[in-house]
Amino acid sequence: MRYQHILLEPIEAGVVRLTINRPKVLNALNRATLEEIDQALDLLEANKNTRLLLITGAGDKAFVAGADIEEMRQLNSLEAKAFSAFGLGVLRRLENATFPVIALVNGFALGGGCELAMSCDLILASDNSKFGQPEINLGIPPGFGGSQRLTRLVGRPMTLELLYTGRILGAEEAQRFGLVNHIFPQESLMTKGMEMALDIVSKSRTSLQLIKQLVQRGQDLPLDNACIMESDQFGLSFSSPDQTEGMAAFLEKRAPNFN
Ligand code: DAK
């Protein structure tokens, strides 16, 4: 598959890296880039060997500096709604992917870039990274789920402050608010991301899938229903070879060997 705006590279052990590759415009997301991400997800979902996806931005300045303002400015109302719906759908696919997704945020993650990062399961950030939803300065609200995902991640008062002011957060502040899992020096972000990816893919694949579903779907359910879902998935896991292997390995005092 040939892409113009992204790079899709298998690294090792089923870990794949997707790089948004428009460094001249700080990796801004135009429609064609979102379409390529969507196509890449088709490919990754169809490939049984995909174990984990890393998403990052080309260059050392930006993860993604937002939706492409040059392209977006020309949209009429209906086109803007369609663009927003398409972007939301692509980001939702990351949240519902059958494999873990980690954002390696290596610079600006603004607007659609912050929304893209928030759709990933974990965010590892470089020490020079910056997060924010500055759409207010363009005379629009967020369009790829920022108002909703930010509220779920950092709470209502901080979301409203960030959306009202367009204030940009440094990596440490973003971590304090619960947006970022870990911060690394920019030059070691990829290595650290890969270390974490390899650790995760060494675990039970079935359990990873169940955990992702539980957390993603459960957060929007009433607690009782979410706990029933957990109980169902817990029960289901007892018909998986990974449960047999994991518990046998513990009792035999050896490391589990999950296939
Ligand atoms: N779109 C297009 N081009 C961009 C861009 C963007 N988001 N961000 C940067 N660029 C381009 C710049 O225009 C510049 O191009 P040239 O002038 O070289 O041709 C090049 O990238 C380098 O940027 P700067 O020269 O500005 O670099 P600086 O270091 O001076 O500044 C910056 C970096 C990140 C602070 C600055 O570029 C900046 O403020 N960028 C825009 C950040 C931003 O506002 N992001 C949010 C975008 S809005 C919706 C759908 C989606 C959305 C909303 C609604 N609906 C359809 C309803 C989502 C919206 C957004 O994401």
For residue 81, give the CATH number of its domain: 3.90.226.10
Q: Measure the CA–CA gap between 57 and 109, rounded to whole angstroms.
A: 9
For residues 98 and 195, membership in a common domain is answered with yes
* Closest residue to atom 22 of ligand 1, CA basis: 25
Same domain, 110 and 229: no
Would you tell me how many other CB atoms lie within 10 Å of the CB of residue 251? 8
The confidence score (pLDDT) of residue 134 equals 98
Residues 61 and 124 reside in one and the same domain: yes
Ligand 1 site-directed mutation target among 25, 131, 150, most atoms within 8 Å of CB: 25
CA nearest ligand 1 atom 16, residue:
25
Asked if residue 59 and residue 182 are part of one domain, the reply reads yes
Question: Are 54 and 181 in the same domain?
Answer: yes
Both tokens of residue 159? 């979301």
- For residues 157 and 210, give the distance between their C-alpha atoms in angstroms, rounded to a whole number: 32
**Euclidean distance between CA atoms 143 and 106, whole angstroms:** 22
Is the pLDDT score of 144 beyond 90? yes
Look at residue 62 and tell me whether its pLDDT is greater than 90: yes
The letter for the amino acid at 224 is: D
Q: What Rg do the C-alpha atoms of the chain give, in angstroms?
A: 19
Q: Is 115 a catalytic residue?
A: yes
Atom of ligand 1 nearest to the CA of 111: 61
> Same structural domain for residues 232 and 197?
no
Average pLDDT over residues 40-53: 98
Residues within a 6 A CB radius of ligand 1: 25-26, 28, 65-70, 80, 83-84, 87, 108, 110-112, 134-135, 138, 140, 142-144
Helix (H) or strand (E) holding 123: strand 122-126
Compute, in angstroms, the gap from residue 65 CA to the centroid of ligand 1: 5
Question: Residue 228: which H helix or E strand, with range?
Answer: helix 223-237
252 catalytic residue (yes or no): no
Task: Please pick, among 35, 45, 95, 135, the residue that the annotation labels catalytic.
Answer: 135
Q: Is residue 258 part of a domain?
A: no
Total domain count, the chain: 2
Question: What pLDDT, on a 0 to 100 scale, did the predictor assign at position 259?
Answer: 79
Stated pTM of the model: 0.97
Residue-wise pLDDT for 196-214, tens only, equals 999 999 999 999 999 999 9
d(CA 61, CA 107): 5
Query: 162 and 235: one domain?
Result: no
Q: What is the pLDDT of residues 110-131, one digit of tens each?
A: 999 999 999 999 999 999 999 9
**Domain span at 219:** 205-251
Domain harbouring 219, CATH code: 1.10.12.10
Sequence-ordered list of residues with C-beta below 8 angstroms from that of 90, at least 6 positions apart, any chain: 34, 37, 38, 41
The mean predicted confidence, pLDDT, of the chain is 97
